[in-house]
Amino acid sequence: MRGLLLRELVLAVRAGGGFGLGLAFFLIVTVLVPFGVGPETETLALIAPGVLWVGALLACLLSLDRVFQPDWEDGSLDLLATSPLPLESLAAGKALAHWLTTGLPLAVAAPVLGLILNLSGPGGLWLMLSLAVGTPALSAIGTFGAALTVGLRRGGLLLSLLVLPLYVPTLLFGALVVTRAAGGQDPVPPLVLLAGVTLATLAAMPFASAAALRVNLR
């Protein structure tokens, strides 16, 4: 499991791995929004939580077709499936690696990008916190989607269509945390609910992903 995680991180960082792609996408989306919406700081501050959360969500999607598809294409998924590593651990390890290379950098960079959208002081901190708590769920659900669509030609689009509706609870509570924090209200209740969504997802998704992989390997 540790070896798998190490391998995934090395693969992500080396050429063609796509590390930083999600982060760059997040940056560009956030910078583009003021161009489209206009420079009024009140309007930007109002929409900032939603825009930042949707941006992070889409950035998470970008690298999902790299979770299982390369392993499927070069045959290592077959070899991993016949190895002593349970498919559940494989799915959990893949999701963790995806979070470390996508969700965690997004959470760390988000407060800085929040400044571009005029997100107020405490808002930035709570944005980072909500992303840190919410993005593991995005990676876990995304890994499940990747397991469902592995082996399909151009499965990436189908993957997005499958996964995005499942992201709704995380998006709802995540954006609410930031909105309430920026508006001076108590952000803890939605954060607790967000953590609940993440924990439930983390508990269920490795098993769902493994089941989907088993069907697709036949």
Instruction: Name the residues that contact another protein, by CB under 8 A.
Output: 2-4, 6-7, 10-11, 14-17, 70-71, 74-85, 217-218
Q: Which of 63, 39, 180 is nearest to 118 (CA)?
A: 39
Give the DSSP letter of residue 17: S
CB of 5 to another protein, least distance (A): 10
Closer CB to another protein, 35 or 153, in the complex: 153
Q: Is 189 helix (H, G, I), strand (E, B) or coil?
A: helix
- Distances in Å between the Cα of 154 and the Cα atoms of 18, 150, 194 are 17, 10, 32
CB-nearer residue toward another protein: 50 or 70: 70
Least separation in angstroms between CB 3 and another protein: 3
Closer CB to another protein, residue 77 or residue 137?
A: 77
Complex with another protein: residue 75 or 165, whichever CB lies closer: 75
Residue with tokens 């593991």: 136
Query: Least distance from C-beta 138 to another protein, angstroms?
Result: 25
Rg of the chain taking only CA atoms, in angstroms:
18
Q: How far is CA 205 from the centre of its chain?
A: 14
**For another protein, which is the closer residue by CB, 12 or 176?**
12
Q: How far apart are CA 153 and CA 131, in angstroms?
A: 31
Taking the complex as a whole, how short is the minimal distance between the CB of residue 100 and another protein, in angstroms? 17
| C-alpha–C-alpha distance, residues 208 and 40, integer Å | 45
User: In the complex, what is the shortest distance from the CB of residue 30 to another protein, in angstroms, rounded to a whole number?
Assistant: 30
